[in-house]
Chains A and B, each alone.
Chain A
Amino acid sequence: MAKGIKDKVAILGMGCAKFGERWNDSPDTLMVEAYEECLADAGIETSQIDAAWLAVAFDAVNVGPSGIPLSMALRLNDIGVTKVENYCASGTDALRGAVYAVASGAADIALAMGCEKLKDTGYGGLPVRTRGTSFDMIGIVGSAPGSFAQLASAYTAAHGVDAGDLKRAMAHVSVKSHANGVKNPKAHLRKAIDMDTVLNAPMIAEPLGLFDCCGVSDGAACAIVTTPEIARELGKADPVTIKAIQLCASNGWEMQFGEWDGSSVPNTRLAAARAYAEAGIRDPRAELDLIEVHDCFSITELVIMEDLGLSDAGRAPADILDGRYDRDGAIPCQLDGGLKCFGHPVGATGLRMVYEVYNQLQGRAGERQRATADFGLTHNLGGSPYNSVAAVAILGRQN
């Protein structure tokens, strides 16, 4: 296996706009809001950035094509800007590009920005979009909740779990994230909810009710990365470093071959295994202090707990109901509210996850601060369970 990028790249600064229904703010405003915080944190000037990556997942109603929107919004120094689209995992993939550029030595300082302006569509939820000329002729007409809801039917069948018990565990996932969102001033949703609210909500895609689904938000998040050496030269004595970034794009075997039962997301398992190896993590349950995962839907988060190896097969519902992933649990999940409450401006989401872990590792998470925070993991998932792009990043300190 390749040596990987463990500790080769440090995060120099990060920023994140407030997520939400930013009706009166353009993509430029959102990107600049995140960038201003990031630049101040990094303590550099725009002219020091050598290369940039821009993650935007939805074109039509949004930031627009190419790297130019980022270059123009930030008035970058006419540097190379790469536009990244990799479904909902675009944000982590933009970071991966910037990290690889620094690790290779091609750039000293690189920027990764994720932005999405989704509240210009005129309706709730993700925009309906093409998935390619050929696919559109044979693919289903469906929605994101419908695609992930199917995990529940297969999970119930695979593990013999009672559908009602599963629904309660899923509800706990959302109740927990709402409780966490209350403590996050940048979160889109900052209202606590109870189990009954989740269980009695209108059905979106069976068995997912309204509160089993994250909404969509406007927002932006960004990171400036460099080498640990340069970070120290710039005054970061003990910088947060990238321990691993792994991204897996499905080759289609799940939906065309016969070895998957539909109750898990195989790519998450692959990305996690590769990331643990890259980071040198042997026992994630003991070593990870906090995780930010792709809770687009409650059932997704539940399945992720097993896919990341944090719960045993068939045990995630019980672990969730036991509070294992709550704020005061063994491995707190979504301390910032997650997609469910921080919000889901698609291209920004992967970087928003890293932003929370980055702040937690440095003791800057305010009310949400976790006492011990040495290793944090982010899990960013795009596509559908049966044809996904999964990205796992692990952050820590160099020493």
Chain B
Amino acid sequence: MTDAVGILAFGGYVPRMRLQRSAVYANIGWFAPGLKGLAKGERAASNWDEDAITMAVEAARDCLGERDRADIARVVLASTTLPNADRLNAGVVKEALNLDDEVAAADAAGSLRAGTSALMASLEAAGSSDGPILCLAAERRKAAPGSESEMLHGDAAAAFLVGRGNVVARYLGGASVTADFVDHFRETGRDFDYFWETRWIRDEGYSKLVVKALKRALEKTGIAAEKVAHLVLPFVERGVSDGLAKKVGVAAEALADSLSANVGSAGAAHPGLLLAHRLEQAKPGDIAVVAGFGQGCDVLVFEVTDAILQREVSPTQGVSAWIARRKEETNYFKFLFFRDLVGLDTGARAEFDQKTMLTALYRDRKAVLGLVGGRCTKTGTVQFPKTEISVNPNDHAIRTQEDYPFAERKARVMTYTADSLTFTPDPPQYYGMIEFEGGGRMMAEIVDCDAADVAVGAPLRMVFRIKARDDKRGFTKYFWKAVPTA
């Protein structure tokens, strides 16, 4: 089986905030009473400092675990909400993951099918690739306040490491159908999607294009529909997926949870998110089929292998763990503010010019984007950031430091405060001195937390987040922050 091409590892990410749909309806129902039927459950909503890049990084870390990243040959990031139109988004992910410079990277975009198209292309390329391909998808969609999309969408990311070797799911093949079927669209530079009628989308889109692709893929791979153990369809509208499964002849119990009740549709990341979620319960020999929809349809067919039993996964890893880590949010206004859908008076302190000196960012990119510090080869002292002269007071060795990555190291709170004076979109701003296991310390922002989570000694993990946005020039500053883990 070591020559098989397929999924070597998988993971995902769902942000902690879960906006209660009832809270949306409570605020918007006067205007859009038709949303009442959707006012149930919750949707995942990213924090103000998360975007497709940061969520992709989290999903990638979830996927990779403690696996050595040195052999990764390519990073692909699929999304319809990439923060940058012309700056390689996957390149930022590459830096955050501290991958070697000799790695290929590409963004994939254009439709909600981008995630499955990228996965398919990665699997097809994996056979002749120098090493595994990290295929990511992440989405942070904006929806007009009061729209169905606002209720149905969710923010999340998915990650797959694909390649040749001891795969957990062998890629059997797939099929694509392409047609300029415009169920919705969004022009470049616009915030919101424009939709056509649901009944047309269901009858002419899902029922014909998706079914065609599903049947073609099963036919190509020689898999009988009734053998499919896991059918992953990315639709969150009620009844759609059941109807499609029936049409194709796949058993109802094979249909993967659409996560519509607790996450919402994560766009281009949704098929991957659902697949990564479903694979958590897959058994060797299971056939898994995943579809992505957008101006046509991609269908990929996998066979789960014995390697699925040998996966080493921590209890905090995996889509299920991310779903379980949740914070209910009933403040609809806060959700809107975090997505720039409503303006607040941020005050004069927010006027600070956030210009990034690009020369310095490039020079310091390992420290800034990768959280790489230094380790003195003479004394063993570790520190952040890396400096010419060691901070060890007993031995100021010069130019003895080698790279020492801190991103995956656990940390603890040493000092902290909750600052109500400094500007942050989510006051108060928690920050403090944190100490890493194995040495090293830094002053760090503490996010995704409640007051009770922050105390001297509280355990933390590091996360890649937006540090600030330079609104004047349209540039996002990223850095690492700490999140309480207990």
Contacts and interface: CB of A to CB of B under 8 A. Distances in A.
B385 A206 contact: no
Interface string A135-151: 00111111101110111
B367 A146 contact: no
Interface in A180-212: 202-206, 208
Interface in A244-267: 251-253, 255-259, 261-262
B403 interface: no
B107 interface: no
B443 A139 contact: yes
B443 A134 contact: no
A295 B321 CA distance: 47
A152 to B, nearest CB: 8
Interface string B386-408: 01000111000000000000000
B456 A156 contact: yes
B419 A143 contact: yes
B442 to A, nearest CB: 7
Interface in B184-240: none
Interface string A305-346: 000000000000000000000000000000000000000000
Contact of B348 (A121, A138, A259): A121
Please indicate which of the listed interface residues B391, B423, B439, B477 has the most CB atoms of chain A within 10 Å of its own CB.
Answer: B391
A206 B452 CA distance: 13
Interface in B438-463: 439-445, 455-457
Interface in B306-361: 347-349, 351-352, 356-357, 360-361
B248 interface: no
Contacts of B348: 121-123
B13 interface: no
Interface stretch (B91-99, B114-122, B273-281, B427-435): B427-435
Contacts of B479: 137-138
Contact of B347 (A123, A139, A149, A253): A123
A257 B383 contact: yes
Contacts of A153: 415-417, 432, 455-456
Given A137-B360, A141-B422, A251-B391, A206 B428 contact: yes
Interface of A: 121-123, 125, 128, 133-134, 137-143, 145-147, 149-154, 156-157, 202-206, 208, 251-253, 255-259, 261-262, 386
B468 interface: yes
Contacts of A143: 419, 421-422
Contacts, number: 135
A53 to B, nearest CB: 29
B384 interface: yes
B476 interface: no
B456 A205 contact: no
Contacts of A252: 387, 391
B360 A134 contact: yes
22 contacts: A123-B348, A128-B352, A133-B357, A137-B361, A138-B368, A142-B419, A142-B422, A142-B429, A143-B419, A145-B421, A146-B421, A146-B431, A149-B417, A150-B433, A205-B419, A206-B418, A206-B419, A252-B387, A256-B441, A257-B381, A257-B383, A386-B415
B128 interface: no
A252 to B, nearest CB: 6
B424 interface: yes
B22 to A, nearest CB: 31
B420 interface: yes
A38 B175 CA distance: 88
A254 to B, nearest CB: 9
B365 to A, nearest CB: 9
A393 B429 CA distance: 36
A257 B376 CA distance: 12
B40 interface: no
Contacts of B433: 150, 154, 255, 262, 386
B39 interface: no
B441 A140 contact: no
A122 B349 CA distance: 10
Contacts of B364: 134, 137-138
Contacts of B443: 139-140, 142, 255, 386
B422 A261 contact: no
Contacts of A140: 431, 443-445
Contacts of A156: 456
B106 interface: no
Q: Closest 8 interchain pairs by CB? A: A146-B419, A150-B415, A149-B417, A262-B415, A157-B456, A143-B422, A143-B421, A123-B348
B419 to A, nearest CB: 3
Given A134-B360, A257-B383, A141 B367 contact: no
A138 B415 contact: no
B467 interface: yes
B251 interface: no
A37 to B, nearest CB: 34
